[in-house]
Amino acid sequence: MKLYDNQHAPNPRRARIFMAEKGISYDNIQVDIVAAENLSVDFLGVNPRGVLPTLVLDDGTILDESTAICRYFEEIKPEPVLMGTDPISKAKIESRQRHIEFDGLLRAQEVFRNSYRGFAKRGLGGNVGEVAAIPELAERGKLLLVQFYRDLNNYLARFEYAAGELFSIADITALCTIDFGSTAARLPIPDGLKDLKRWHSLVKARPSAKA
């Protein structure tokens, strides 16, 4: 199978880390988003939405969206468990995952998309045509991303991981959010958030984080 990927983007990294945790091998095909390779005729022939990651299975089935790709692998290879074991744990992990996506990852992407010069006419990702970046959205995103860091720090003062006491897909999403926020959005973890920094060091040390 093939994973159409971008080494620097957070959503493809989420899939890579999840697959690394599961010990799943695949052919990796790099697609340069900055150079708009995801909008090329060749890639749109694979995925007309122009989004990454995109997974192509051996039978030709095409899946996109990080969480959907992760769900597929959770179902075919349940161990190690990364998305819950029973109705309540699955619901709690899904809830935390969505909090992190909406409150953190989308904000980090908002900052980058609306401040990076190369995306001045590509303020939204995917195959949606020209959409002007809005600098004010970048400024708003910075404020909301800092609030996300604080909220996650408060949660981690009570729990070991981002969705409770066990490592899960929520930790993968949070790690990719914070690393992308620190580099692309230029907003590293603020000083004083000791529980968030403790968690980040813990998760960053996992071998899968290097995927």
Write out pLDDT tens, residues 117-145: 999 999 999 999 999 999 999 999 999 99
Q: What is the structure's pLDDT at 34? A: 95
For residues 161 and 152, what is the distance between their CA atoms, to the nearest angstrom?
A: 10
Q: If you average pLDDT over residues 51-73, what whole number do you get?
A: 98
Instruction: Please report which helix (H) or strand (E) contains residue 18, including its range.
Output: helix 10-22
Tell me if the pTM is above 0.75.
yes
pLDDT band at 93 (very low <50, low <70, confident <90, very high): very high
Domain tally for the chain? 2
For residues 160 and 134, what is the distance between their CA atoms, to the nearest angstrom?
A: 37
pLDDT band at 193 (very low <50, low <70, confident <90, very high): very high
Cis check: omega of the bond before 80, within 30 degrees of 0: yes
Helix (H, G, I), strand (E, B) or coil at 4: strand
Tell whether 82 is covered by a domain: no
CATH number at residue 51: 3.40.30.10
pLDDT band at 26 (very low <50, low <70, confident <90, very high): very high
Are 115 and 133 a contacting pair, CB within 8 Å?
Answer: yes
Q: What is the structure's pLDDT at 109? A: 97
Instruction: Please report which helix (H) or strand (E) contains residue 64, including its range.
Output: strand 62-64
The string of DSSP letters for 116-180 reads -GGGTTB-S-SS---B---HHHHHHHHHHHHHHHHHHHHHHTT-SBTTBSS--HHHHHHHHHHHH
Looking at the fold, whether 18 and 94 belong to one and the same domain comes out as no
Domain end call among 46, 76, 106: 76
pLDDT > 70: percent of the chain = 100
Q: What is the mean pLDDT of the chain?
A: 97
Of 181, 178, 170, which is closest to residue 200 (Cα–Cα)?
178
Q: What is the structure's pLDDT at 116? A: 95
Q: What is the structure's pLDDT at 58? A: 97
Are 29 and 81 a contacting pair, CB within 8 Å?
Answer: no
pLDDT band at 19 (very low <50, low <70, confident <90, very high): very high
Looking at the fold, whether 9 and 48 belong to one and the same domain comes out as yes
Tell whether 145 is covered by a domain: yes
What range does the domain containing 18 cover?
Answer: 2-76
Looking at the fold, whether 112 and 144 belong to one and the same domain comes out as yes
Tell whether 157 is covered by a domain: yes
For residues 10 and 13, what is the distance between their CA atoms, to the nearest angstrom?
A: 5
Looking at the fold, whether 34 and 106 belong to one and the same domain comes out as no
Tell whether 138 is covered by a domain: yes
Looking at the fold, whether 66 and 99 belong to one and the same domain comes out as no
Tell whether 23 is covered by a domain: yes
Tell whether 60 is covered by a domain: yes
pLDDT band at 13 (very low <50, low <70, confident <90, very high): very high
Looking at the fold, whether 10 and 72 belong to one and the same domain comes out as yes
Q: Which amino acid is at 6?
A: N
Domain end call among 76, 109, 129: 76
Looking at the fold, whether 110 and 201 belong to one and the same domain comes out as yes
Looking at the fold, whether 173 and 205 belong to one and the same domain comes out as yes
Domain end call among 18, 49, 76: 76
Tell whether 81 is covered by a domain: no
Looking at the fold, whether 108 and 169 belong to one and the same domain comes out as yes
pLDDT band at 80 (very low <50, low <70, confident <90, very high): very high
